[in-house]
Amino acid sequence: MSDAHPSIRVPLGPQGGGPPTPPEPAADEAGARPRPTITPPIDIHDGPDGLTLEADLPGATESNLVIQLEHNVLSLDARIDPDPAPDARPIHQEFPVGDYHRSFILSDDVDRDRITAELKDGVLRVFLPKADRARARRIEIKS
């Protein structure tokens, strides 16, 4: 998993492990209890036009998911609302209430201006197109 990929690097470790630290939890109006960070599982596919990154983010919506690109670090953050109903009492919990966080280090091969993302049924798909200079190009010979 740690094999050097030319266009994207995935820091290892449950918290990302890399240089970007998750944004420090702002003073929570509900209390000072820190929310756990969840590392969502991802897939990365390599295609002729670029990379496709998919992340399982059940519970994430367009309004609570933030995708940021800062320098060469692409980060996903989503804050999931806890309970299905205000008076619901948890009996058994396997997915902790917390915040999804994952970050990736992009190389210059990725065209930052054309990154697109879509979210459907809890699956995020981010397309990272190859920059023109990284794509194979045929050079015309002028006569």
Are the C-beta atoms of 20 and 75 separated by less than 8 Å?
yes
- Residue 37's contacts (CB-CB under 8 Å, 6 or more residues apart) are 15, 22, 98, 99, 100, 101
User: How far apart are alpha carbons 92 and 132 in whole angstroms?
Assistant: 51
Report, in Å, the least distance between residue 64 CB and another protein.
9
Residue 57 CB, nearest distance to another protein (Å)?
Answer: 7
Smallest distance from another protein to CB 85, Å = 6
Q: Which is nearer to another protein, 26 or 88 (CB)?
A: 88
Residue 30 exposure: Cα atoms within 13 Å on the Cβ side = 6
CB nearer to another protein: give 20 or 124: 124
Instruction: State the nearest-atom distance from the C-beta of 56 to another protein, in Å.
Output: 4
Give the span between the Cα atoms of 136 and 66, in whole angstroms.
32
Going from the C-alpha of 56 to that of each of 3, 51, 100, 105, 108, the distances in angstroms are 22, 17, 10, 19, 26
Interface positions with another protein (CB under 8 A)? 1, 5, 8, 10, 14, 38, 40-48, 51-52, 54, 56-61, 83-85, 87-96, 120-123
Q: Which is nearer to another protein, 7 or 111 (CB)?
A: 7
* Residue among 20 and 53 whose Cβ is closer to another protein: 53
